[in-house]
Amino acid sequence: MVGLTSELLERMRGSPREHLAPVDSAEYLRRAYGEAKRAAEIVDRLLDYVRERTRVLETVDVRQVVVEAVALVSPAAARRGTQITLTSDDTPTLVRADAIMLRQVVLNLVNNALDAVVEQSGGVEIRTRLERGAIGPGRVIVTVRDTGCGIPAEHLPHVFDLFFTTKEAGRGVGLGLAVCQSLIEQHGGAIQVQSRGVGQGTTVEFELPAES
C-alpha cells in the first residue's frame, strides 16, 4: 500500500522517475485500497482474538448452529463443485453457549476445509454427535473433515499459533484457528487438529460440555 501510493505521489510531483511509462492511477488506487482493506480486516480479527467478550449464554442445539453456518457457505461451495455432507445423531446436542460465537467457530472451520479442497476434487464432511459420560451429561462433539491438501507433520504443533498459516500469501493470515481455540476454551471446551500428512486431508474436532 505504501509502495503504491508513494509511486503515485512521485509521479504527481514530476520526480526524476517521470520518464517511466504512464500508469493507470485508478488501478493503483484500487490496489492500494484493497491492501488497506485487507490490513483492516487483519487488525479486526486480531482485536477479536484479544478483546474480552461478553458471552450471552443460552441453551443451544449445536446441530442447528452447524446447519445455519453451512447454509452461509453452501452457495460458494456449490460454485466450486465442493460437496458438504452433514450427519448428526437423532439425539439433541444441547450446550450452554453463545450461539453467535459458536457459529463463528463453525464458519471458520468449514471455510478452512473448503480452502483445503479448492485446488483438487474433494469434499467436506461435518458430523455432530452427543457422547454420553459415565458421570454427568457427557459432551457434544463436532467433527469437520476434509479430503484436501492436508498438513505436514512438522506444522501440526503450530496450527493454533497466532499468524501461523499454511495457505499461500493473500489467502490466510493465521488467525482463524487461534480464534476458534479461544472461543471454544471460553466455553469450557477443547479443540484439536489431525492430519496424516500432505494430500491426506485434515480433521478438526471440538467438544463442549453437554447441558445437564
User: Are 129 and 65 within one domain?
Assistant: yes
Give me the pLDDT at residue 38, please.
Answer: 74
Look up the domain containing 203 and give its range. 58-209
Give me the pLDDT at residue 139, please.
Answer: 95
- Higher model confidence: residue 164 or residue 35? 35
Q: What is the CATH number of the domain that holds 69?
A: 3.30.565.10
* The most confident of 22-31, 41-50, 124-133, by mean pLDDT: 124-133
User: Are 145 and 95 within one domain?
Assistant: yes
Is 128 in contact with 85 (CB distance < 8 Å)? no
What's the rounded Cα separation, in Å, for the pair 62 and 71? 14
Is 174 in contact with 161 (CB distance < 8 Å)? yes
Task: Read off the pLDDT of each residue in 20-38 and give the average, rounded to a whole number.
Answer: 74
User: Are 28 and 95 within one domain?
Assistant: no
Lowest mean pLDDT among 2-6, 48-52, 163-167, 171-175: 171-175
Is the pLDDT assigned to residue 184 strictly greater than 90? yes
What's the rounded Cα separation, in Å, for the pair 17 and 104? 48
Q: What does the longest C-alpha to C-alpha distance in the chain come to?
A: 78
- Higher model confidence: residue 139 or residue 90? 139
User: Are 129 and 84 within one domain?
Assistant: yes
Give me the pLDDT at residue 198, please.
Answer: 87
Strand residue runs (E) in 19-157 = 58-61, 83-88, 94-97, 123-131, 139-146
